[in-house]
Amino acid sequence: MTRFYELGHDESSPWKGWFEARHLWKMPGAHCPQCDAIWNTPAIAYPCVDLSNHPERHKLEKARLEEDFAEFERLRSVLRPFVPQEAPLEPGTMFGPLVGTIKGELGPLVLPRSGFHMLARRDILELLQSTSVRGLLGCPTRLRSSRSNGPEFLELQIEPHGLLHPQCLPPGKVAPCARCGRYDISLPESPILDAASLPRHLDLFRLANFPTLLIATERFKEGVERHAPHCLSFRELPPR
């Protein structure tokens, strides 16, 4: 049985650098007529999706709220072909490269303390890919470094797959809003993964019903501990 881990920032990391960046395109936030929530995801990004020739791109360049829910739904259906078929397409979903700056020195894998997007140095990503870690997709970034000749960093496209188990959620909060897709849940004290929902083809993903939670398999953990130690922390989460 595969073991699964929640990923975090390793507080013992010797690298003190950081990055400030945003994705080039972003779905607007939405105001749902059914559940009345005004919201957007802080986490879900598809950095390998290039919308630079897309006719709707100008509507996605600035963070904004779309009050007209029919217009939000239209945009969502237009963008649907760019994301995995079964994945949620939430308000605020980001596309395209991270644009911004790197300050100081970054480790080979970077998950900021309160961030949901992960950078990988190209050589480490290629090493992990060559050592049978599955489904790692590195996407180009537009990050300027304050150090001249800094190494190249790619962003990992971490897709939403798999669910928290209904048994660790409050009754009545298991299903998302049928109209906007929002899950009205906070992180349980002891998260349990819904084993049947977990992807079989990926060693790194985020949960579809709690996308700020990044999940890795034992295989990813072993690869990272071997080739990029002191970058990430791992907390085991039980599947059921």
Interacting residues toward Zn ion by CB under 5 A: 32, 34-35, 177, 179-180
Nearest to 216 by CA among 227, 206, 203: 203
Least Å distance, CB 82 to Zn ion, is: 22
Rounded Cα–Cα distance for residues 207 and 227 (Å): 25
Least Å distance, CB 90 to Zn ion, is: 11
**Does residue 97 contact residue 139 with C-beta atoms inside 8 Å?**
yes
Least Å distance, CB 35 to Zn ion, is: 3
Considering beta carbons, is residue 163 or 202 the nearer one to Zn ion?
163
**Does residue 60 contact residue 13 with C-beta atoms inside 8 Å?**
no
Least Å distance, CB 220 to Zn ion, is: 33
Considering beta carbons, is residue 87 or 177 the nearer one to Zn ion?
177
Rounded Cα–Cα distance for residues 179 and 31 (Å): 11
**At residue 98, what are phi and psi to the nearest 5 degrees?**
-75, 130
> In DSSP terms, which residues pair with 6 in a beta bridge?
215, 235
Considering beta carbons, is residue 34 or 101 the nearer one to Zn ion?
34
Considering beta carbons, is residue 76 or 227 the nearer one to Zn ion?
76
